Amino acid sequence: ITSRGILHVGAAFRQLLSYLLLALYAGVIFLSGWSVFRLIFLYAFSSRENDSNFATSLCAAVLTALLFNMTGTPVRRFTRKILPPEIDLERIVTEVSHLVQSMTTLENLLERFSTYLSRAVGSPKITVLIREEGQNRWKIYPAEDAENHHRMPEILLHPLLGGESDMALEDLQRRAPSPDRAAKLAAMGELETDLVLSVRYQGDLTGLLIFAPRASGRIYGGMGRTTLRLVAEQLGVALANSRLYTEARRSEAYNQFLVEHLSCGVVATDTQGLLTVVNPEARRLLHLDESAPPDEIELMPEIAGLITPTLQGDMVARDEELIIRPGARDQAHVRVSCLPFASESEELLGAVLVINDHTALERLQRQVRQADRLASIGTLASGMAHEIKNPLTALKTFTQLLPKRYNDAEFRHDFSGLAGSEIARIERIVNQLLAFARPAPLMIEQVSVHEMIDAAVRLVGPEASRQNVNLRKVLTAKDDCAAADKDRLQQVMLNLLLNALQASSPGGWVEMATELEPGHAEQEPFLRLDVRDNGSGIPPDMVAHIFDPFFTTKSEGTGLGLSVSYNIILEHKGRMEVQSKVGHGTCFSVYLPVCTV
């Protein structure tokens, strides 16, 4: 009974020995004090024996109380050394409390926990099993293999899932023989354990503590199990906290990896505008010290000037184009966005700058523009040669015949008329070419698009009537105000209308429609003008070339009308698109920025 720790006999012996030692200690102090005080009262104060008994006893009792209170704790410690308790409850609970309160990862926590508890209870090994979500699979800690999993016997797991706090070998051995008892004893032997303790959090079984037999051979008695149950409760809370801490660390490492390896520069600030994060790409683009901490870095004024308005809510910068180190050989073309970020409760936490390097793209665009310019020169040269060749041929022929037929009045009359018309044709081609290559500056003003459509329809109305084509308008845009050059925009409308009329058959129709296109996060609102017809349409292989100079499907015309119109819309910071299907007609869509003033 004593060696196995049954019925708390060890604790009873320890308490009895403590009381005996304390009584002996108190008796010795009292008798010694009584003798000393008796001599003092009899001889020093010449008191009578009967008078000194009460005073002597009182002084001896006071002395005993003082010395007993001062030295009682050392006596108890001495007793605990003689008969040590099964488990030091106070020390274990205190140490475990400090251990589980430390913020650490799950692996580190369980390794430290099992090592300490194994030493405290005298067990050679304590294994911690953590239950995987929704499965009877348990991950072992500490484990040499990170993928080491264990399957808990159902015969032991079922009672623990039902709410039992532990499964002890000593309790099973004292039960009456039964198949259930035999199966549980076999399972305990298979696990090589004397005690299986459940670890719970908010009522759910989250883990198990498996205690190997103690080196001293003593059982895990009632008092010891009570202590270990308290420890298991603390471990359950610590597991939940450690999981949260582990997830937070993983998220932090994941985010840090992303920020460090992003191909764009990232700069983050707090609510005061002080830098907290500057990733390597931002340091490279802005030529910042790679080793300097973020709070010691000073950004260039063009970028730093975006932070304060963003934090104050006055402005959100999106794709601001900047040139870093302009004029230098390593100048960089960047686009900068500055956005505020807040918590779930919408509390402002700071601002984030995202810097995208467009230097390579800008260089490529310059090369493409140069290639397009060279290609356009070849196209223009070929087109001009073709367009000017015919009138020059006619002029050359008449000029060669002029000396021979100078006296022919009819010939001179035909020559003068032809020369004038052909020279006018050449002049018109040159003027259109100049308008395409070197457009005049725009005279921007606020115009009513609907009024301009009405004017354009009136101008081409007679031609539409002559061709028996129906002109109609569907003006649904509530706001038709646009910032444009009135004459140039009128030129575009007339050009699109005349092209639509020429593509239409008698009995067909041409429609002009407007609609307001709402703006999005990174785009301002546009006024869309559609010019539709139900003509023959444009073949798919030609649609990609209709805006090229001198490209035309007509027997007459220079092919510069759509090219000039396209450039005019681009100069208005708009765009022009075309949709066409052979046999069903064509739709030209012009997008114009709406008025902002």
Does 521 score more than 50 pLDDT?
no
Q: How far is CA 462 from CA 469, 493, 501, 535, in A?
A: 10, 16, 11, 19
pLDDT in tens, 577-597: 888 888 888 999 999 888 754
User: What span, in angstroms and rounded, lies between the C-alpha atoms of 49 and 40?
Assistant: 12
Mean pLDDT of 437-465: 82
> What integer best gives the mean pLDDT of the chain?
78
Residue with tokens 């037929």: 405
What the block records as the tokens of 282 is: 């931002």
Dist. CA 262–CA 355, nearest whole Å: 11
The CA distance from 116 to 588, in Å, is 80
Which H helix or E strand runs over 370? Answer: helix 359-401
Higher-confidence position of 426 and 309: 309
**pLDDT score of 531:** 92
What percent of the chain stands above pLDDT 70? 78
pLDDT value of residue 27: 84
Question: What per-residue confidence (pLDDT) applies to 289?
Answer: 84
**b/e sequence 262-285, b meaning 16+ C-beta within 10 Å:** eeebbbbbeeeeebebbbebbbeb
pLDDT at 1 over 70: no
Which residue type does 440 have? A
Q: What sign results for the dihedral spanned by CA atoms 363, 364, 365, 366?
A: positive
Q: For 438-482, where are the alpha helices, taking DSSP H only? A: 449-467
Scanning 192-221, the segments in alpha helix (DSSP H) are: none
- Predicted confidence (pLDDT) per residue in 40-81, tens digit: 777 766 655 555 677 788 888 888 887 766 665 666 666 556
pLDDT of 558 above 60: no
- The pLDDT, as a whole number, for residue 166 is 85
User: Rounded mean pLDDT of 208-218?
Assistant: 83
3-state secondary structure of 113: helix
Does 146 score more than 70 pLDDT?
Answer: no
21-35, 327-341, 421-435: which range is least confident on average? 421-435
For residue range 290-303, list pLDDT tens digits in order: 888 888 888 888 88
Distance (Å, rounded) from C-alpha 584 to C-alpha 285? 52
pLDDT-wise least confident of 121-125, 241-245, 498-502: 241-245
CA-to-CA distance for 117 and 388, rounded, in angstroms?
A: 101
Q: What's the CA gap between 512 and 496, in Å, rounded?
A: 10
- Stretch 472-499: mean pLDDT: 87
